[in-house]
Chains A and B, each alone.
Chain A
């Protein structure tokens, strides 16, 4: 962990950028880290899958159905456990205009959501509970929206990465709550 502009853990890297003019644009990136173990596991799965396919093709039993289903199974397992299609998510804070949320996929596709500054009532750090786990999430309370807007739709960065983003959003939106309050 290097200051508040660079935070790392096993899964994610948080990076902060300040852009010209006069460092007005504040960009916060949360990048997915690809561990060596997961890469090795992906390659191992691919090797096993390919060798299985070669074996089935070369064997006398021309079982196309088995081949087809083995591919389907390995692909679905790979997607379920390891394949994270998201490369990074970014929060671009433009004090005069608003907040833009970006999701960058491995395919190169990017989705963007923009919220004008006047419509954002407050950024909130919440504890989310699912049937299997609990995690922290950063959301925006937006005027005329029935639900909270998740800042990170795909990723679940730890709270130590969310706090600096929350503070930056608070400073921009001029929250009643002091951003220097306790990080809890």
Chain B
């Protein structure tokens, strides 16, 4: 365990009641860190009428700040609008370290910027892969370069993701750690009895969007159905590409062999997974892919595209990889079907338990926190030199942004001194036993 107890503020635009990789990562990591005796507070934006302070399982405190999202669950970038509330939370919760999640989160970037201005150590976790060529990626990479210019440590979820982040942000590789995601194996257990082998069921659960390879599925499914008469597909998920899948089903008369479930609530993912034999992931880009961990934990053999960090996720005997090409995908499915008799779901589940657990992720994250707190604290002038190296024009602009931020912070120190902000007493809960699994948070558990 770490030498000292940390007081961590997790910041991201993506958190419960949303469900996804980032949301789960923050939730489970926070729960484990709380078990280790650290204080963890989460800051996110309000979701509908869910605003204010809420407490979740294990005494996890969440600030749902009443800033409304404006696009894709992201708050409007204001640069300085969040400074007063972030400063207040940092002081009242006696925070020692700020941990931001996801490069796409506006709130994360702003929180890290303000925290550095106030002299706090910051850690950033990147959960996605980004390109270099399109306009959106170029802008995103510049923002990332700005944020990471003064970050204490960074974490990536795979080695591919680390390479991508280092290239995009210009961050020294020795500052970037690789800590993979994990899976709640208590939640994703195999079925007591394996589904019948007279027909092979291939499960697909993903958002039906271009990035997740929905167009690839449109071509793969008819070919597989033609080659294997005993194969049936269950497709869970929703998105703009759902129409194309529906059209494909009509065109090839596969209504009886391709079941479209629509959006699947996170609590029901396991029940869909255990009804199948093979899990198919057709993503075109993926930093890690938690979905294949969940499938493997449920005892399914995975067929996946060889993209991003996917090859790093599972051992070779648990996954069949293919190029993101319909022909190669069909061959991979053929190979997976031949391997099915050798697969024991219970054995696979036990292996997953050892390979991927949040306890281990939290232990490794603790080491990063310790390293971050060892970093020397630099004054404004030293920090500005880092921003200047971000580009001929961008560097000067970043310096200006940080100088204004510093002046605003100093003004707030005069306007509302730190001693006027009341510190919050810590809630101490009786510790859960280490063997106890982390249950997913339901509405009833959340509100105490």
Contact = CB atoms under 8 A, between A and B. Distances in A.
The answer on A and B forming one complex is yes
Interface string B62-81: 01111100000000000001
A134 B425 contact: no
Contacts of A128: 52
A58 interface: no
B51 A129 contact: yes
A172 B119 CA distance: 46
B67 A131 contact: yes
B89 A184 contact: no
Contact of B89 (A126, A134, A159): A134
Nearest to B415: A81
A10 B427 CA distance: 28
B424 A132 contact: no
B84 A133 contact: yes
A11 B415 CA distance: 13
B52 A184 contact: no
Interface residues of A, number: 18
Interface string B42-70: 00000000011100000000011111000
A183 to B, nearest CB: 7
Nearest to B46: A129
A6 B67 CA distance: 38
A59 interface: no
A134 B66 contact: no
A131 to B, nearest CB: 5
A147 interface: no
A127 B425 contact: no
A158 interface: yes
Contacts of B420: 10-11
Contact of B65 (A129, A158, A183): A129
Interface of A: 10-11, 126-136, 158-159, 182-184
Given A131-B66, A132-B88, A133-B84, 13 more contacts: A10-B420, A126-B53, A129-B52, A129-B63, A131-B85, A132-B84, A132-B85, A134-B88, A134-B89, A134-B92, A135-B422, A182-B425, A184-B424
Interface of B: 51-53, 63-67, 81, 84-85, 88-89, 92, 420, 422, 424-425, 427
Pairs A-B, 5 closest by C-beta atoms: A184-B425, A127-B53, A132-B84, A129-B52, A133-B88
